[in-house]
Amino acid sequence: AQSVTQLDSQVPVFEEAPVELRCNYSSSVSVYLFWYVQYPNQGLQLLLKYLSGSTLVKGINGFEAEFNKSQTSFHLRKPSVHISDTAEYFCAVSPLSASKIIFGSGTRLSIRP
Amino acid sequence: EAGVAQSPRYKIIEKRQSVAFWCNPISGHATLYWYQQILGQGPKLLIQFQNNGVVDDSQLPKDRFSAERLKGVDSTLKIQPAKLEDSAVYLCASSLAEGSNSGNTIYFGEGSWLTVV
């Protein structure tokens, strides 16, 4: 079975400051890793994904994430946030052998001007 | 390319009434999912279809929830009778068939927001 832990339910940051949203996962099999973003009153949108290869993955809107197999982590980072980044961010895993995807509980990113 | 379409976007019903949600996945996507997202939580898988067959419905409350995908394209999720705790966003999603090069990327619709009063 797989599980995802997002360590922070809320992260407040000032505009133009860097941010890191933490994600740890547990799985007995190899997995794909994802970050999704959910803007207010909207569905989920894929930010980035790790399938294989380079452990540093770049996504849309200037976000990137680094896969760390030894620490079973997939933290999301952005060097300088904008007001428009205010949203809920979900980390997710999917076992290679199946199409199902398991989500974490989400981290709400709030940007202060 | 058109995304995953869902309707209605918003629905308010009284407890013990019934409601149905409709989903049209991305063209060519064989796998269709229904997720339930309760406020403040991550999405929880209710049911997964591969074409018109059920792959996983282990978390579907079958005494009140039902879903079908008769022709392997559109899908309908029904709740009858609804309870207060069913208030949530119901997200439909789709992906290419298992083992595709998409790496299991799942594309979501905008959701159907249900309030049970």
A71-89 pLDDT, tens digit each = 999 999 999 999 999 999 9
Residue A113 binned pLDDT confidence (cut-offs 50, 70, 90): confident
Q: Which of residues 25-64 of A touch B (CB under 8 A)?
A: 32, 34, 36, 41-46, 49, 51
Say if residues B95 and B102 touch (Cβ distance below 8 Å): yes
What pLDDT shows up at residue A101? 86
What pLDDT shows up at residue B100? 52
Q: Residue A71: phi, psi to the nearest 5? A: -100, 0
Tell me if A106 and B41 make a contact (CB, 8 A cut-off).
Answer: yes
pLDDT at B48 over 60: yes
What tens digit of pLDDT does each residue of B66-81 get?
Answer: 999 988 899 999 999 9
Average pLDDT, chain A: 92
Nearest by CB to residue A103, choosing from B42, B48, B107, is B42
Q: What is the token pair recorded at B113? A: 């927001």
Residue A41 burial class via C-beta count within 10 angstroms: exposed 0-12, middle 13-18, buried 19 and up? exposed
Amino acid at A107: T
Cα–Cα distance between A17 and A98 in angstroms, integer?
38
The DSSP string of B51-116 is TTEEEE-TTS-TTTEEEE-TTSS-EEEEESS--GGG-EEEEEEEEPPTT-TTTT--EE---EEEEE
